[in-house]
């Protein structure tokens, strides 16, 4: 019987060899999935177990770590610091777009001052008659910002200076 750490970071099991093979066939478990024999203390990749090594197309990988927390951190590549610093405004712009979109606050956060002034003036000069339209635009843009990866957000909105949608 085996226990595994799922992609969600939760522990599953104990499960049988047959159940694990079904999960491998379904793609729910991969060679890097951490597993532990029920009687063992250490965690290692499924591909390191001789009984599962043949179930994966790639050759076995070396053990990732002794504990689930350390292994899950080691299995993710380090983020690009340049992209991370450029994408630091993504969450603020996304939330402001959703909550304050009619005033163009999210445009100011991203440095699109002209578009931000346009949204603000349309809302104010129409005596808030067109605020709903501006807010809908901000809502859509906020959702778009938050659903993009950091790399895509930087490429499109920071480096690409895309002002609308």
Of residues 26 and 145, the one with the higher pLDDT is 145
Q: Strand, helix or coil at 107?
A: helix
Residues 6+ apart with CB under 8 A from 4: 11, 12, 13, 15, 20, 23, 29, 33, 34, 35, 36, 46
Q: What are the tens digits of pLDDT across the range 29-49?
A: 888 889 998 888 888 888 888
Flag the least confident range among 12-26, 48-62, 114-128: 48-62
Which of 88, 69, 58, 87 shows the shortest CA–CA distance to 10? Answer: 69
Contact 77, 114 (CB under 8 A): no
Which of 57, 46, 51, 60 shows the shortest CA–CA distance to 7? Answer: 46
> Whole-prediction pTM value?
0.53
Of residues 57 and 42, the one with the higher pLDDT is 42
Structure tokens that stand for 56 in this block: 């994966």
Q: What is the mean pLDDT of residues 148-153?
A: 90
Confidence at residue 61, expressed as pLDDT on a 0 to 100 scale: 53
Residue 14: cis peptide before it, omega within 30 degrees of 0: yes
Residue 59 clears pLDDT 60, i.e. is over it: no
| 151 secondary structure, DSSP code | H
Which of 149, 164, 163 shows the shortest CA–CA distance to 86? Answer: 149
Confidence at residue 135, expressed as pLDDT on a 0 to 100 scale: 96
Contact 157, 145 (CB under 8 A): yes
Task: Assign 63 a pLDDT band (cuts: 50, 70, 90).
Answer: low
């Amino acid at each position: 019987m085996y226990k595994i750490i799922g992609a969600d970071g939760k522990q599953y099991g104990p499960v049988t060899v047959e159940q694990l093979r079904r999960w491998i066939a379904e793609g729910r478990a991969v060679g890097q999935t951490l597993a532990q024999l029920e009687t063992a203390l250490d965690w290692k990749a499924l591909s390191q177990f001789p009984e599962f090594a043949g179930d994966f197309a790639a050759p076995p990988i070396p053990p990732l770590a002794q504990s689930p927390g350390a292994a899950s951190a080691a299995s993710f590549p380090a983020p690009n610091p340049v992209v991370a610093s450029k994408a630091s405004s993504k969450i603020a712009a996304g939330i402001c777009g959703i909550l304050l979109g009619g005033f163009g606050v999210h445009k100011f956060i991203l440095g699109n001052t002209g578009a931000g002034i346009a949204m603000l003036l349309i809302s104010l000069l129409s005596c808030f008659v067109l605020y709903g339209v501006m807010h809908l635009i901000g809502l859509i843009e906020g959702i778009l910002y938050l659903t993009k990866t950091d790399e895509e957000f930087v490429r499109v909105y920071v480096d690409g200076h895309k002002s609308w949608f």
